[in-house]
Amino acid sequence: MRKTKNDISYDAVDIDYQALISVARYTLANTTDVLISKLHTMREDLCSSKHSTTHIVAQCLPATVEQLVIAAETYDALKQGISRSNKHLVNVSKEQ
């Protein structure tokens, strides 16, 4: 099992950039799988004579697509950030 280089000390935190990329890649793959599964369910409903749940599944698609876009954007930014000399974390608040 791979251990990260994340380190939390008294008043500072070091974040393992490669671990961030791994998490973003996993999230992107998982969200893609969820979207494919929902589309597959809709396709099966269209071909079935049973009660259709297509409208219910379709209502979930916008949220799933939004998650997919965020995951893809984050993964791409992290991958491209490897070659950048300056990296900044934004939207960091003390409430979270």
Number of folded domains that form the chain: 1
User: Is 94 among the domain residues?
Assistant: no
Mean pLDDT taken over the chain: 89
User: Is 17 among the domain residues?
Assistant: no
Q: Comparing 94 with 12, which gets the higher pLDDT? A: 12
pLDDT score recorded for residue 44: 87
Structural domain boundaries, residue 74: 32-80
Q: Comparing 89 with 74, which gets the higher pLDDT? A: 74
Please give the structure tokens belonging to residue 53.
């749940």
pLDDT score recorded for residue 96: 54
User: Is 27 among the domain residues?
Assistant: no
Q: How far apart are CA 16 and CA 22, in angstroms?
A: 10
pLDDT score recorded for residue 24: 97
Mean pLDDT across 83-87: 92
* Integer CA distances (angstroms), 55 to 4, 9, 38, in order: 42, 49, 11
- Say yes or no to pLDDT of 46 above 80: yes
Helix (H, G, I), strand (E, B) or coil at 13: strand
Please give the structure tokens belonging to residue 26.
């996993």
Q: How far apart are CA 38 and CA 61, in angstroms?
A: 8
User: Is 74 among the domain residues?
Assistant: yes
User: Is 57 among the domain residues?
Assistant: yes
User: Is 54 among the domain residues?
Assistant: yes
